[in-house]
Amino acid sequence: MTHNKTISAAGAAAALLLAAGPPAFASVDEGVSTAGVYFWADPETSVGDSTLRRTDHGVVASFAAGSIEPSSAITLWWVVFNQPEHCSAPGCGEDDIFVGGDLAADLNADGIAAADIVSGYAAGTLAAPDGTVYLSAALAEGDLGTDLILGEGALLKNAPGAEIHLVARSHGPAIGGLEDVQTTSFAGGCETMLLPPEVPDAEGECANLQYSLHPAVTP
């Protein structure tokens, strides 16, 4: 594989917020939304599904996906657009994060502030021998979270009204003695940050791998 798309840790963190093309958004039924899981490399083929259950004051997510390199270290990240009505277009995405929507450009501080975009750690695990992962996490309004990588303040400020992206990140093959670090932090085990749609296949390579998008259910 080529490594000509390496980026900084800050750029990789911001790239968590990128939305891809259809068919991305979830179906919603009485506060519970279900959405497909997609690779950045193939936004047309679902490789799993995620479910987001909302209450008045929090959310519970489950994320199940396949086609992952067996025994790779995977983390799951909350990407919360607390005020999606202030995104630049229906369905928040790269234009709200980067100046001109260009991943190589500076962060769009005004867009991040307007949509109150905050991202942090949700869960982590090692992929099973058959290349599947199952992750679950809960997030309450006002929770400051752990390993916050973008934005400030509470991760979730309005459970019904937030647009929430779930992003699975690969930390490459599990490294003996570093599995806990690889599955609990954004840069755990990372020496080379790859830009999606590249997929890590060697120790020390990390990239955002899969995503699932859940729109707000109330204004």
Element (H, E) at 205: strand 205-214
Summarised one tens digit per residue, pLDDT across range 91-107 is 788 888 888 877 667 88
Q: Where are the domains of the chain?
A: 9-198
Task: Give the pLDDT mean for 37-59.
Answer: 94
Confidence (pTM): 0.88
Contact, 13 vs 98, CB < 8 A?
Answer: no
Buried b or exposed e, range 178-189, using 16+ CB within 10 angstroms:
ebebbbebbbbb
The answer to whether residue 124 scores a pLDDT higher than 70 is yes
The answer to whether residue 175 scores a pLDDT higher than 80 is yes
pLDDT attached to residue 14: 53
Summarised one tens digit per residue, pLDDT across range 62-84 is 999 999 999 999 999 999 999 99
Dist. CA 86–CA 88, nearest whole Å: 6
Structure tokens at 109: 């501080």
Q: Dihedrals φ, ψ of 64, to 5°?
A: -125, 125
Q: Dihedrals φ, ψ of 218, to 5°?
A: -140, 155
Contact, 216 vs 83, CB < 8 A?
Answer: no
Pick from 36, 41, 46: which is nearest to 166 by CA?
A: 36
| Helices and strands in the chain, H and E counts | 3, 10
